[in-house]
Amino acid sequence: MSSETPKNHVSGPKDADLRLSTASLDRLPGQIRRPAYDRSGVTPGIVHLGIGAFHRAHQAVVIDDLLAGGASDWGIVGASLRSPGTRDALAPQDCLYTLAVRSGAGTEHRIIGSVLACEVASERPASLLARLTDPATRIVSLTVTEKGYCHTPQTGDLDENHPDIVHDLQNPGTPRSAIGFLVAALARRRIAGTVPFTVLSCDNLAANGHTVGRIVTQFASLRSRNLAKWIEAEVAFPSTMVDRIVPETTDLDRSEISSELGTTDAWPVVTEPFTQWIVEDRFSAGRPDFAAAGVQMVADVTPFEHMKLRLLNASHSALAYLGYLAGHETIASTMTDVRFAALARQVMRDAAPTLTMPDGTDIGAYGTSLLQRFSNPALHHRTWQIAMDGSQKLPQRLLGTIQDRLRLGLSIGTHALAVAGWMRYVTAKDEQGRAIDVRDPLAKELFEITERAGPVAERLAPALLEVHSIFGSLGSDPRMRSAVTEALAKLYTLGARQTVQTFQPA
Ligand code: CS2
């Protein structure tokens, strides 16, 4: 299956060079689903910032369904803030790409047509700004990852010293950050008398709508008090809970999928069958009929967001750090060790008392379904991928639960072990002394701290807990200090595998 030559190669050598595109759609094998609408009649209504795999496997699929239902003025213009990779791969394909849905039962392929064009902000900021100020753009959605919000994760406030924020305040006409683009475009719309777009964050942040609303308003107030007031009064920032596991696409995926298609797709996405999107129903300039495509529209997304961050993402991060240290390349492989699966379950059990869910929510069943999803053998979801950007992820995934449990007088051993796993991981050396490629906006600072403290839990744990932008006042809580130090000491003496294998929740 991994051969370079397309397997379903149909008629003559010329086809081997075919690229997925509008022109080649008709030649795809019959079972492959393709856009059930005329793409030439679709106009853009959404600009999406951060057109990575996650957006293309999640929101773009919902929009593809809606376009098939006739919502033809809600096409997507995707934008990458920095890298031209996605645009370079998708442009020759008329922005078509394959969604490969994988489970133990096999793979289903589908061609998605909802993305109409791709921008690269760093190359042509003016072009992206023109899209954002166009009155036809009524929603601007974002998946720029946690670090893309240029904020302090612990407080949720704008980081005014962030280099991109400093740049964008000095150069409002040529921004670099998503926040800079949003504010520049909103300022222009205000002057032009154009109704503001809705800002729809689809990232894994607690209260993502409120958080991006606060950051955007804080940034705007550094430019003009009146602009900030107008944004506060006029712009909707609904919170959303997005869920679909989307591992990074690999070369093997590309060649397997191209082989299945009989034509080359340079940028397919691979995902699981499960998908969920819950959205607060507050929009400044209209919206498509999301519910028609299975999106749950609610008044308040907070409980669902907390449940997902504290069950799914928290246990994902615990499995990622400890699994990586124990030598597991993927989450599915980590889950084959029953003790790791039990630890993931315990992370979820410990989070449950901190949640207040609407009547009828079955947290236990949700947890069971998560364990099944993590075990999907067809997904190659690397522990290393999830371990990325821990400094931006820990607060909403693990630390909120720890704070709540301490308030409730409950033990914090399970979560402390996950935090200790992160600490051991950011030392950038694994248990065999091999280098770990730690990707994190704070990687340098964290590495310096770990070097200064050395591999001694009693020094390293307190030193890292002092990183205020991650831990805030929790870092100086003696209960936190002792639980994390104890867990880190075990990781140093027993190693991650044995620590997890002998772990007994208090
Ligand atoms: C993962 C998430 O990479 C990560 O940190 O925990 O991307 C996770 O796969 C998604 O939130 C699932 O919806």
Rounded to the nearest angstrom, the distance between the alpha carbon of 245 and the centre of ligand 1 is 6
Tokens of 308: 């997902």
pLDDT of residue 506: 78
The secondary element (H helix, E strand) that includes residue 102 is strand 97-103
Q: Which of 239, 215, 367 is nearest to 303 (CA)?
A: 239
Atom of ligand 1 nearest to the CA of 385: 3
Please name the residue whose Cα sits nearest to atom 4 of ligand 1.
386
pLDDT digits (tens, 9 = 90+) for 24-71: 999 999 999 999 999 999 999 999 999 999 999 999 999 999 999 999
pLDDT of residue 336: 98
Q: Residue 279 pairs with which residues in a beta bridge? A: 240, 297
Which of the listed residues 147, 313, 330, 369 should we mutate to test ligand 1's pocket, taking the one with most ligand atoms within 8 A of CB? 313
Residue pair 97/86 in contact (Cβ under 8 Å)? The answer is no
Query: What's the longest Cα–Cα distance across the chain?
Result: 72
Q: Cα dihedral angle (109, 119, 248, 348), rounded to 10 degrees?
A: -100
Q: Nearest 5°: phi and psi at 282?
A: -135, 110
Atom of ligand 1 nearest to the CA of 242: 13
pLDDT digits (tens, 9 = 90+) for 400-413: 999 999 999 999 99
Please name the residue whose Cα sits nearest to atom 5 of ligand 1.
386
HSE-CB at 426 with a 13 A cutoff on CA atoms is: 29
Rounded to the nearest angstrom, the distance between the alpha carbon of 378 and the centre of ligand 1 is 16
Please name the residue whose Cα sits nearest to atom 9 of ligand 1.
245
Q: Residues in the chain, how many?
A: 506
Q: Is the pLDDT of residue 324 over 70?
A: yes
What share of the chain has pLDDT > 90, as a percent?
Answer: 95
Cα three-residue angle 301-291-50, rounded to 5 degrees: 65
Tokens of 344: 């993931």
pLDDT band at 17 (very low <50, low <70, confident <90, very high): low
pLDDT of residue 154: 87
pLDDT digits (tens, 9 = 90+) for 114-170: 999 999 999 999 999 999 999 999 999 999 999 999 999 889 999 999 999 999 999
Query: Rounded mean pLDDT of 231-245?
Result: 98
Residue pair 481/462 in contact (Cβ under 8 Å)? The answer is yes
How many C-beta atoms surround the C-beta of residue 161 within 10 A?
Answer: 9
Amino acid at 434: R
Amino acid at 105: A
Q: Which residues contact 359 (CB under 8 A, 6 or more apart)?
A: none
Assessment of whether the complete model's pTM goes beyond 0.75: yes
Which of the listed residues 312, 335, 347, 381 should we mutate to test ligand 1's pocket, taking the one with most ligand atoms within 8 A of CB? 312
pLDDT band at 339 (very low <50, low <70, confident <90, very high): very high
Q: Which residue has the higher pLDDT, 11 or 196?
A: 196
Which pairing describes strands 276-280 and 296-298: parallel, antiparallel, or unpaired?
parallel
Tokens of 302: 């907070």
Rounded to the nearest angstrom, the distance between the alpha carbon of 269 and the centre of ligand 1 is 15
Atom of ligand 1 nearest to the CA of 397: 6
Q: Nearest 5°: phi and psi at 261?
A: -75, -25
Atom of ligand 1 nearest to the CA of 316: 6
Q: Would you list the DSSP string of 356-376?
A: ---TT--HHHHHHHHHHHHT-
Atom of ligand 1 nearest to the CA of 313: 6
Instruction: Give the residues surrounding ligand 1 with Cβ less than 6 Å away.
Output: 204, 243-245, 312-313, 316, 385-386
Q: Which of 17, 138, 166 is nearest to 71 (CA)?
A: 138
Q: Which of 59, 196, 199 is nearest to 141 (CA)?
A: 199
Q: Which of 208, 202, 345, 209 is nearest to 276 (CA)?
A: 202
How far apart are alpha carbons 269 and 33 in whole angstroms?
15
How far apart are alpha carbons 138 and 285 in whole angstroms?
5
Three-state DSSP class for residue 297: strand
Q: Which residue has the tokens 């683009």?
A: 181
Rounded to the nearest angstrom, the distance between the alpha carbon of 320 and the centre of ligand 1 is 11
Average pLDDT of the chain, as a whole number: 95
Please name the residue whose Cα sits nearest to atom 3 of ligand 1.
386
pLDDT of residue 2: 32
